[in-house]
Amino acid sequence: MRSLAEGMAYLVAGIIAGMASAYVVIENTGDEPLGGNGIWNSRAEGLAGSSAFYVRAHFMMQGRLPPAPGQIDEATAETDSLGKALTGDCRYKLVSTGQMPRWWSLVLLNTGVETSSQQAIASADTTIRESDGSVIVHAAVSPQPGNWLKTDAARRYTLLYSALASGGQRLASTPPFTITREDCP
């Protein structure tokens, strides 16, 4: 009897380990850092490579579609330039790093909040460019001069950058924005 109980414990542990390893593989496969500042990660290359099955599974587990390859590129950032997690407690300055594509957007994702009635977003259609063509966006809880990306207080978040893949700049090798922490209690 004791041997049977011990065996069942082994089996349950095996099942849990198998499922956990699958989850870890799905979440990590193909998530490659973009060159440069090391803040941004992208699954664009993974979607086109041999690990595409796992990368697609990552998107499907979130109940969403992957970006159309060759049409829209995506990258995510969870930390600032110092490697600290992005949080609504702090104010950040985001500065574009090169020529901007014809269309782009920067969406703030909080778990469960992105589908609320308010979408925190800055995009090519809603931002004002600097005289040199660059874009500066301030991410903060309270309104900011210039381009403002509203964050939620005391919540960690992820920034999702999307851009049309056509044009001179491809996301695969160029991080879109630097993220500098400006003010933090």
Partner 1 sequence: MIRLFWIAAALAAAVVAHVSFLLFVPGYMFASEIARMSKGHGANHFFILPPEDQAQLLPGLPRNGVTGICLFDVSQGSVTLSANLPDGFWLTTIYSDKGETIYTVNNRQSGSNIFNVSLSKAPGFIEMLVQATDKERPEFDSGWTVQSPEPRGLAVVWYPLADPALRTAAASAVARSSCSSALPPSQ
Cβ at position 57, least distance to partner 1 in Å: 4
Which segments of 29-167 does DSSP mark as H helices, in order?
44-48, 52-61
Instruction: Using the minimum distance from each CB to partner 1, give the nearer residue, 68 or 184.
Output: 68
3-state secondary structure of 109: strand
Instruction: Using the minimum distance from each CB to partner 1, give the nearer residue, 110 or 181.
Output: 110
Instruction: Using the minimum distance from each CB to partner 1, give the nearer residue, 19 or 184.
Output: 19
Cβ at position 39, least distance to partner 1 in Å: 17
Cβ at position 181, least distance to partner 1 in Å: 24
Residues facing 33 on adjacent strands: 41
CB atoms within 10 A of CB 164: 16
Cβ at position 12, least distance to partner 1 in Å: 8
Residues that bind partner 1 (CB under 8 A): 3, 6-7, 10-11, 13-19, 21-23, 25-26, 52-54, 56-72, 74, 103, 105, 107, 109, 114-117, 119, 121, 123, 125-126, 160-162, 166
Which segments of 29-141 does DSSP mark as H helices, in order?
44-48, 52-61
CA-CA distances (angstroms) from residue 174 to 112, 161, 178?
29, 12, 11
